[in-house]
């Protein structure tokens, strides 16, 4: 498929789903037919205290016991319970962009424009997003494609600041004998995920990832989402234009309505040579949120 010019009217003036419109009953059924062995791959990192986040000033993952079994057990006993119920409860505080998560289409504005031509004043409020929140993203059940680019430079992983280009992706696809299809989610394994929770400073101070040309090529293939084993999907810092920041986010989320899934765990897929699979990813309906943690799984 040739590169597409994405305009705001593609799915209608009121659309808030973006490329998720490409997932149909037919694409879901085709993805489910890829499951022959019942093998499952968990593609998510554990969200825990100390998990890397970018930028570092974002709220980290914090968990507090709000009610212990000792307290609740005594309370329920005083209410007359005789069978010993004693639940534990907690309170969690975090940014939605910790761990493996999906970016909502309202996560970014490009100047005064957001997805589908909306103005930030229509979308952004003090209590979250009035439009384009993650609750607008449907369940994603589609074909996943894992592109292992980690060894392109002869090592076990690409280095920080290394652009993954369109030519790189096409080469890996050709080697795998695959062609992208409308509604696919592309998962890019750079090997960078090895530093998640093992060397957080290295993980967050730069990364290999796709460049803008590669992103435009992928959206031109009508993918629904792009995931990667790094914190931002795209190469950082920008090796060609250091002052051009987050160009991939601006194109995918704002211009193309294509979702980004960050901090994925793709090493097992790459190690076992799994290139096409049924992918199941269920965004949680946090109304007005700019993203949410997800637990994507691959099945073959």
pLDDT of 6 strictly over 50: no
- Least confident range from 4-8, 115-119, 206-210: namely 4-8
Concatenated DSSP letters for 114-159? Answer: -GGG--HHHHEETTEESSS-GGGSPPEEEEEEEEE-TTTTSSSSPP
What count of Cα atoms within 13 Å lies in the side-chain half-sphere of residue 131? 17
What average pLDDT is seen over the chain?
Answer: 95
Instruction: State CA 280 to chain mean position distance.
Output: 12
The CA distance from 220 to 102, in Å, is 20
Ranges assigned E (strand) in the chain: 40-42, 62-67, 89-93, 101-103, 124-125, 128-129, 140-148, 163-164, 185-189, 209-210, 225-228, 259-262, 276-281, 291-293, 297-299
Give the pLDDT of residue 57. 73
The CA distance from 100 to 228, in Å, is 10
Percent of the chain whose predicted confidence (pLDDT) is above 70: 97
Q: Is residue 143 in some structural domain? A: yes
Q: Is residue 233 in some structural domain? A: yes
What count of Cα atoms within 13 Å lies in the side-chain half-sphere of residue 195? 22
Q: Mean per-residue pLDDT for 91-116?
A: 97
Range of the domain at 83: 62-93
Does 188 lie in the same domain as 40? yes
Domain count, the chain: 2
Give the pLDDT of residue 3. 41
| Structure confidence by residue, pLDDT tens digits, 113-132 | 999 999 999 999 999 999 99
Give the pLDDT of residue 55. 78
pLDDT of 73 strictly over 80: yes
296 against 13, higher pLDDT: 296
Q: Is residue 263 in some structural domain? A: yes
Does 67 lie in the same domain as 141? no
Q: Is residue 8 in some structural domain? A: no
Q: How confident is the model at residue 54 (pLDDT cuts 50, 70, 90)?
A: confident
pLDDT of 4 strictly over 50: no
Size (the chain), residues:
300
Does 118 lie in the same domain as 66? no
Give the pLDDT of residue 171. 97
């Amino acid at each position: 498929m040739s590169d597409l010019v994405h305009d705001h009217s593609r799915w209608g003036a009121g659309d808030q789903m973006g490329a998720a419109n490409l997932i149909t009953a037919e694409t879901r059924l085709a993805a489910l037919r890829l499951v022959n062995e019942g093998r499952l791959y968990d593609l998510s990192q554990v969200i825990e205290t100390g998990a890397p986040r970018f930028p570092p000033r974002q709220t980290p993952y914090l968990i507090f016991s709000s009610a212990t079994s000792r307290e609740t057990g005594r309370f329920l006993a005083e209410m007359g319970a005789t069978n010993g119920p004693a639940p534990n409860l907690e309170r969690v505080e975090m940014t939605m962009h910790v761990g493996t998560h999906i970016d909502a289409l309202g996560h970014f504005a490009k100047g005064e424009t957001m997805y589908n031509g909306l103005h930030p004043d229509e979308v952004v409020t003090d209590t979250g997003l009035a439009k384009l929140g993650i609750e607008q993203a449907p369940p994603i059940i589609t074909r996943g494609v894992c592109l292992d680019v980690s060894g392109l430079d002869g090592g076990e992983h690409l280095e920080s600041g290394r652009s993954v280009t369109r030519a790189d992706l096409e080469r890996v696809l050709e080697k795998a004998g695959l062609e992208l299809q409308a509604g696919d989610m592309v998962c890019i394994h750079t090997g960078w995920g090895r530093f998640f929770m093992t060397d957080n400073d290295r993980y967050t101070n730069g990364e290999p990832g796709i460049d803008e040309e590669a992103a435009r090529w992928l959206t031109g293939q009508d993918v629904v989402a792009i995931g990667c084993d790094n914190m931002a999907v795209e190469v950082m810092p920008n090796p060609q234009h250091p002052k051009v920041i987050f160009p991939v986010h601006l194109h995918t989320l704002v211009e193309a309505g294509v979702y980004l899934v960050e901090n994925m765990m793709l090493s097992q897929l790459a190690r076992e040579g799994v290139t096409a699979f049924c992918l199941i990813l269920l965004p949680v309906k946090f109304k007005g949120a700019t993203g949410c943690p997800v637990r994507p799984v691959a099945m073959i």
